[in-house]
Homo-oligomer: A and B are copies of this chain.
Amino acid sequence: MLSVAEALELIRANVSQLPPRRMALAEVGGCRLAEAVVSDVDSPPHDKTAVDGYAIQFADLRNGCADLRLLEEVTAGALPTYDVGPGTTTRIMTGAPLPMGADAVVMVERSSQPGPDVVRLEEPRAKLGQNIVRRGTVMRKGDVVLKAEHLITPAVVGLLAEAGCASPLVVPRPRATVLATGNELVPCREVPRPGQIRNSNGPLLVASLRQAGAEELDLGIARDDRVALRDKIGQGLDADLLILSGGVSAGVLDLVPGVLAELGVREVFHKVSLKPGKPLWFGVWTSPAGIVKPVFGLPGNPVSTLVCFELFVRPALVRMAGGVATSPPTFAARLSEPFMQRGDRPTYWPGRCDVAEAGATGREVTPLRWQGSGDLRTLVDADCLICFPSGNCQYAAGDDVTVRRLH
């Protein structure tokens, strides 16, 4: 059976970045740029004042003092109509263009008005050029201000706006279809009859996708029936990727791998050595247009679904969105209590580590009293998975273990 690392490598090798497209600025936060961005303006666009104050000729100051004739007042967004010459000054507001002739600005706090249209300035330590930000200091027209692959943070959105890039070319958010399979499932608004359970995986996967920055289309529930599965899976393949839950174990009604094969989805692997999540199925479908789309068949138990999403689907989404495949966010911690690990597969056991705490040193992790892959109730208290290697082993309190943060 494949190891987790081998499975991840196969996913990496079979998943590609989505084709870039232009999107409106309001929609691109969290995406990656697919092109370098060149500014079409200087910033600032003109010599400007950094303060509210008076634009002057520095040579007018005698020991930092001068009485000057006021020419006009220039607010941000307006233009000076007079040049500042000897003996004159213009009042300007923060960000306003510096009038021609001026070579320093004295803050309004250093001024008084001894008479009409006369401004008295007193700033003994004034310097030539003070409080002026020169045109193009931050960026010049034609500068590459952002490189391709830059992650679009709020600051990047602001810079894109400033540089005139209103529809940047970006790698879009992956759009995933979610389909839960199984005759035993009913929608969560219904009361299950004997033998039935509610579909918890569908909503769980929708929430996981949104949290991972992807978009989702929830196709609901498909019965364990070839025709129903073919129909829903066929719809699901319209999206960038398809995530199924259930139907991938070895039971007589586990039809999913067979139906996927009929639809031309090529199996890359089935089953991975881990617990929970062993029955994981992964394949790819090549659309008539030649686009390769990943298909995940996740095990039907909700905790298996969640663990497989975190371990395998999330890295695929990152790759599709143009992100760099990084090693998973694991860290070392000490067990707060003894733990007996049993079984022939590496186990991802729900734990509590208060990982939000700053400071990575001396972290302790507590294995929760988890009852297996059907036990979602315990998982809501977990903030991490503790990774135990395969084999039976009695761990003592204080033993070092590897912990993986849950998003």
Interface residues of A (CB under 8 A from B): 25-26, 28-30, 40-41, 43-46, 50, 52, 73, 75-79, 93-97, 108, 133, 137-139, 145-146, 150, 152-162, 164-166, 182-185, 187-189, 191-192, 194-208, 210-211, 218, 224, 249-253, 300-302, 305-306, 309, 329-331, 358-361, 371-372, 374-380, 382, 406
Q: Shortest CB–CB separation between residue A23 and chain B, in angstroms?
A: 12
Q: Are B194 and A158 in contact (CB under 8 A)?
A: no
Q: Which of B139, B158, B191, B305 has a CB less than 8 Å from the CB of A306? A: B158
Q: Are B252 and A40 in contact (CB under 8 A)?
A: no
Instruction: Known contacts A46-B194, A154-B208, A203-B26; decide if A93 and B41 are in contact (CB<8 Å).
Output: no
Please name all residues of chain B whose beta carbon is closer than 8 Å to the beta carbon of A93 when the two chains form the complex. Answer: 249, 251-253
CA distance A161 to B133 in the complex (A): 58
Please name all residues of chain B whose beta carbon is closer than 8 Å to the beta carbon of A196 when the two chains form the complex. Answer: 45, 77
Please name all residues of chain B whose beta carbon is closer than 8 Å to the beta carbon of A306 when the two chains form the complex. Answer: 154-155, 158
Please name all residues of chain B whose beta carbon is closer than 8 Å to the beta carbon of A380 when the two chains form the complex. Answer: 146, 150, 153, 155-156, 159
3 smallest CB-CB distances across A and B, nearest first, come from A77-B184, A77-B183, A158-B204
Q: Shortest CB–CB separation between residue A371 and chain B, in angstroms?
A: 6
Instruction: Known contacts A75-B252, A146-B380, A154-B204; decide if A358 and B330 are in contact (CB<8 Å).
Output: yes
Q: Are A79 and B361 in contact (CB under 8 A)?
A: no
Q: Are A155 and B382 in contact (CB under 8 A)?
A: yes
CA distance A115 to B77 in the complex (A): 92
CA distance A379 to B195 in the complex (A): 57
Q: How many copies does the complex hold?
A: 2
13 cross-chain CB contacts under 8 A: A29-B210, A29-B211, A45-B192, A75-B252, A93-B253, A94-B300, A153-B211, A153-B406, A158-B302, A161-B204, A164-B188, A166-B188, A359-B360
Please name all residues of chain B whose beta carbon is closer than 8 Å to the beta carbon of A44 when the two chains form the complex. Answer: 197, 374
Please name all residues of chain B whose beta carbon is closer than 8 Å to the beta carbon of A77 when the two chains form the complex. Answer: 182-185, 195-196, 224
Q: Are A194 and B97 in contact (CB under 8 A)?
A: yes
Q: Are B302 and A331 in contact (CB under 8 A)?
A: no
CA distance A43 to B376 in the complex (A): 10
CA distance A25 to B220 in the complex (A): 13
Q: Are A162 and B376 in contact (CB under 8 A)?
A: yes
Q: Shortest CB–CB separation between residue A18 and chain B, in angstroms?
A: 20
Which of A160, A189, A380 counts the most B-chain CB atoms under 10 A from its CB? A380
Please name all residues of chain B whose beta carbon is closer than 8 Å to the beta carbon of A165 when the two chains form the complex. Answer: 188
CA distance A24 to B195 in the complex (A): 26
Q: Which of B40, B160, B378 has a CB less than 8 Å from the CB of A203? A: B160
CA distance A204 to B160 in the complex (A): 9
Q: Are B52 and A250 in contact (CB under 8 A)?
A: yes
Q: Are B75 and A224 in contact (CB under 8 A)?
A: yes
Q: Shortest CB–CB separation between residue A160 and chain B, in angstroms?
A: 7
Chain B residue at minimal CB-CB distance from A254 = B93
Q: Which of B97, B145, B359, B374 has a CB less than 8 Å from the CB of A195? A: B97
11 more A-B residue pairs beyond the given contacts A46-B194, A95-B197, A158-B204, with a C-beta to C-beta distance below 8 A: A73-B252, A75-B183, A76-B195, A95-B184, A146-B380, A154-B211, A158-B305, A158-B306, A162-B188, A166-B189, A358-B360
